[in-house]
C-alpha cells in the first residue's frame, strides 16, 4: 500500500522547484470517464437519470459510454506511466459497487476497482480513491436523497465496504468531492443531479453530507491500516468583494458563509458558524436539523484537506432600491432561475477579469495562492493537497495529428507557480492533481467542454496526449517549472 508522505511539515525547495516528495497526479470522476453504465451489475445513479432527462444536458449527451475508461483502463494507465505521473485520483461509482445503496457489494463491481488499483501499483502510480463524486444511487434519491438523514448511514456502510475490499492496496481515501455542488447545485439551483430546486432541501443536504463524511471517516478508520490517510475535497470559493464598500464586504461575508464555512465550520472547527445560522434561520430549523453528537461525528480528524480551485468568486450587494432578482450571477455554476446561494440569493456575482477559459471562468492564479496560504494560516497543522485545477479550452486535432494547447500550458504554468509560491510562503501543500487526465463528460455541458491533458476522439475513443500533457510530464520529470513561456 502506498500513501502520501505522513510528515506534518512541508520542505520547500528553492527557485522554481517543488519539495522533493511533492506528489504529481491527475484526476477523473467515475461517471465522467467510465462508461459501462449498465454492465456487471451497475444500476442507475442520479446522474444517469438526470442525463437521460430531456433538456438537462447540452446536446442530449449522457455518460453511458463517456471515455470508456471501464474497458480501456489498462491503456489509460499506460498513458499515465508514459507521462511520468506519480498518482491517480479516481472516484468509485457507488451504484457499481452497491447498486441500491444498501446491502452487500457486487463483487463484479469491486473487481473493476481491484483491477484498476493493481494496474496502477504495477505501473508505480499511487492510487487515490474518492468514494463519492456526485453519483448517488438512484434508489437512495427515490427514498429522499441527501436531504434525508438515513443517506449518511448508507454512505458509511458503503465506505466500510470499500475499506475492507481495497484498504490493503489504497493508502489515501477521500470521502466526498465538492459536497457544496452536491448540496447546492443538486438541490438548490437544480443544474446538477438530481435537479431539485428546494432551498431547505439544499441546507439539509449540506448537513447530511457533512454527517456522511464524519460517519465514513469512522467506518474507514475501523478497517484501514493505521498508516492510511483520510481526507475530504472541498471546492472552496476564493471570495472577494467587488469594492471595499460595507455593502460589498457584507455580500462577501454571506457568500463565504454559505459557500465555504457551511463545510469548514463543522468539519474543521466543530460548529456551524453563527452568521450562517442567522442568514438561513428563516429556511431551516438548525436546532432540529443538527442532533446531539452530530458535530463530534462530523469533526473527526482527517489527515489531508483536498482543495479544488478554478476561479475566484467576486460579489457585490445590489444597490438600494433595485430588484434583487435583477442582479448578475456570473458565479460559474450554470444558468438557472433558482440560486444555489441559499439564504443569500440577492447577492450579485461578477467575473474577476476578461481573461476567460472556454467555461467563461476568469483565469486568476493569484486566487489559488491566496486560498492556500489562507487555509495554511487558519489550519496550520492540516496538510493540503490541490486535488483539482485545470482549464477547458477549444481543443482540436491538427491536420498533423497533434493537439496544440498553448493557453492551457500558460494556465498550468501560472497556477503551478502559485502553488510553488504558497509552499515557499509556508503552506504545507503535499501535491497537485491536474484536472483532468482525459477529456470527458463535463456534467450539464456534456461533451462540449474539454478539460483533459489527453484529447479523446469520442467517435473512436482514440487518445491523443495534448502539448500540455507533454509539458506537464516535463514538469514532473524536473520537479520544477521551466522558464516562463517554455513549451515541451
Share of the chain residues as helix, strand and coil, in percent rounded to the nearest 5: 40, 15, 45
| 457: three-class secondary structure by DSSP | strand
Distance, C-alpha 336 to centroid of its chain: 21
Q: Which residues, 6 or more positions from 194, have their beta carbon under 8 angstroms from its beta carbon? A: 46, 49, 50, 136, 141, 145, 186, 187
Paired strand residues for 381: none
Q: What is the DSSP letter of 487?
A: -
Q: Which residues, 6 or more positions from 274, have their beta carbon under 8 angstroms from its beta carbon? A: none
Active site residue 141: no
The residue from 34, 178, 297, 442 that is catalytic is: 178
What is the distance between the alpha carbons of residues 334 and 340, in angstroms, rounded to a whole number? 10
Paired strand residues for 457: 462
The residue from 34, 297, 388, 442 that is catalytic is: 388
Active site residue 178: yes
What torsion do the CA atoms of 315, 318, 323, 326 make, to the nearest 10 degrees?
A: -30
Count the residues in the chain: 488
Long-range contacts: 60-65, Cβ < 8 Å, 24+? 60/446, 61/441, 61/446, 61/447, 61/448, 62/37, 62/441, 63/31, 63/32, 63/34, 63/35, 63/37, 63/441, 64/35, 64/37, 64/38, 65/35, 65/37, 65/458
Spatial contact of 383 and 430, defined as CB atoms under 8 Å apart: yes
Catalytic residues: 178, 388
Amino acid at each position: 500500500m502506498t500513501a502520501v508522505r505522513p510528515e506534518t511539515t512541508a520542505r520547500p525547495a528553492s527557485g522554481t522547484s517543488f519539495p522533493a516528495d511533492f506528489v504529481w497526479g491527475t484526476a477523473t470522476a467515475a461517471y465522467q470517464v467510465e462508461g459501462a453504465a449498465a454492465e456487471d451489475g451497475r444500476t442507475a445513479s442520479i446522474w444517469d437519470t438526470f442525463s437521460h432527462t430531456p433538456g438537462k444536458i447540452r446536446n442530449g449527451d449522457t455518460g453511458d459510454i463517456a471515455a470508456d475508461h471501464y474497458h480501456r483502463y489498462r491503456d489509460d494507465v499506460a498513458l499515465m506511466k508514459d507521462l511520468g505521473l506519480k498518482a491517480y485520483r479516481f472516484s468509485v461509482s457507488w451504484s457499481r459497487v452497491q447498486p441500491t445503496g444498501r446491502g452487500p457489494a457486487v463483487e463484479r463491481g469491486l473487481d473493476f476497482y481491484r483491477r484498476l488499483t493493481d494496474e496502477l501499483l504495477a505501473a508505480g502510480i499511487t492510487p487515490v480513491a474518492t468514494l463519492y463524486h456526485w453519483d448517488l444511487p438512484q434508489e437512495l434519491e427515490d427514498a429522499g436523497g441527501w436531504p434525508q438523514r438515513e443517506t449518511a448511514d448508507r454512505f458509511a456502510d458503503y465506505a466500510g465496504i470499500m475499506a475492507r475490499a481495497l484498504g490493503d492496496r489504497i493508502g489515501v481515501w477521500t470521502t466526498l468531492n465538492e459536497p457544496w455542488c452536491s448540496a447546492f447545485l443538486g438541490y438548490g439551483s437544480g443544474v446538477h443531479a438530481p435537479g431539485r430546486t428546494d432551498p431547505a432541501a439544499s441546507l439539509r443536504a449540506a448537513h447530511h453530507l457533512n454527517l456522511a463524511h464524519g460517519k465514513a471517516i469512522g467506518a474507514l478508520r475501523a478497517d484501514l491500516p493505521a498508516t492510511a490517510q483520510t481526507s475530504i475535497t472541498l471546492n472552496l470559493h476564493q471570495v472577494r468583494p467587488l469594492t471595499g464598500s460595507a455593502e460589498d464586504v457584507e455580500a462577501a461575508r454571506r457568500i463565504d458563509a454559505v459557500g465555504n464555512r457551511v463545510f469548514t465550520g463543522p468539519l474543521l472547527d466543530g460548529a456551524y458558524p453563527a452568521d450562517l445560522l442567522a442568514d438561513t434561520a428563516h429556511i431551516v430549523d438548525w436546532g432540529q436539523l443538527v442532533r446531539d453528537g452530530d458535530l463530534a461525528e462530523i469533526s473527526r480528524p482527517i489527515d489531508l484537506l483536498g482543495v479544488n480551485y478554478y476561479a475566484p468568486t467576486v460579489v457585490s450587494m445590489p444597490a438600494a432600491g433595485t430588484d434583487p432578482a435583477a442582479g448578475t450571477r456570473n458565479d460559474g455554476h450554470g444558468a438557472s432561475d433558482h440560486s444555489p446561494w441559499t439564504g443569500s440569493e440577492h447577492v450579485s456575482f461578477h467575473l474577476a477579469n476578461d481573461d476567460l477559459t472556454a467555461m467563461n471562468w476568469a483565469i486568476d492564479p493569484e486566487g489559488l495562492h491566496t486560498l492556500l496560504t489562507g487555509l495554511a494560516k487558519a489550519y496550520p497543522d492540516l496538510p493540503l493537497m490541490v486535488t483539482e485545477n485545470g482549464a477547458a479550452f477549444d481543443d482540436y486535432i491538427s491536420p498533423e495529428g497533434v493537439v496544440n494547447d498553448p493557453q492551457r500550458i500558460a494556465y498550468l504554468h501560472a497556477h503551478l507557480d502559485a502553488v510553488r509560491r504558497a509552499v515557499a510562503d509556508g503552506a504545507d501543500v503535499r501535491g497537485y492533481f491536474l484536472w483532468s487526465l482525459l477529456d470527458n463528460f463535463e456534467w450539464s455541458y456534456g461533451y462540449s467542454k474539454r478539460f483533459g491533458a489527453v484529447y479523446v476522439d469520442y467517435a473512436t475513443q482514440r487518445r491523443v496526449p495534448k502539448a500540455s500533457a507533454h509539458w506537464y510530464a516535463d514538469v514532473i520529470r524536473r520537479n520544477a517549472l521551466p522558464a516562463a513561456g517554455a513549451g515541451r
